[in-house]
Amino acid sequence: MKLHVYLRNLGVASRRKSEELIGAGQVMVDRKPAHVGQQVQGTESITISGQQISASAPQKKQYLLINKPVDYTSTTASFFENEHSVLELLPYQLRKSTQWQIVGRLDKNSEGLLFLTDDGELCYVLTHPKYEIEKEYVVTVARGLEAGDIKKLLQGVLSPEGETYRFDKIEKISPLNYSCVLTEGKKREIREAISLIGSRVTRLVRVRIGELFLGELVSGTYRVPTVEEQTWLNSLSKRVPNTITEKI
């Protein structure tokens, strides 16, 4: 593990601040000056400005899947009267015990799967378009889509403001219901795209983020990942060291 990641996991400082401390020569590993990008095992003697750093195990990361109901916001706090954050669906102690980040935000009128975590690097992998993590939605429309409509959505439709909206996959479930898959989520993309082809979204439910599934999770409730889902999350975490380098 890279030293700056190790220090961040111990809660010593943020990733960037840890790099600054290392670059300034304030970090010693086994009594030798550390360097940016240095690998450590976690058994070394590490000091910062002469102060010994505890080598206690890093705190376990937290992961939750939650089924957001309509009228809740995908924010970590409520900013207006009569507005409710999706975090209010968690018990108070759980809500306050972790610095939650929300992956896969949904607008207030949409519902379905959100992923909550305190793992910032994993959050980056899940949300950055270059990793092409699929998000699947079941979309109900006011007017059924013709073959030409579907072709346009797959090729990309252009808004008057110059924004292009493109779906990766569309599958008809019933005359008014469609499975839509996107890998790059722009604000209100599905609603805007459907509007541009002359129909209207009447219900939008996210049912999947990558290998995380909404399944039978009741609206307004949450759960921890299954064994299979946790295995997938662990596989994404292995990409984190490269991600750190790419973001700098």
What is the set of active-site residues? 107
Sign of the C-alpha dihedral, residues 25, 28, 31, 33?
negative
CA separation for the pair 179, 153 (Å, rounded): 13
Residue pair 119/63 in contact (Cβ under 8 Å)? The answer is: yes
Token pair listed for 141: 């429309």
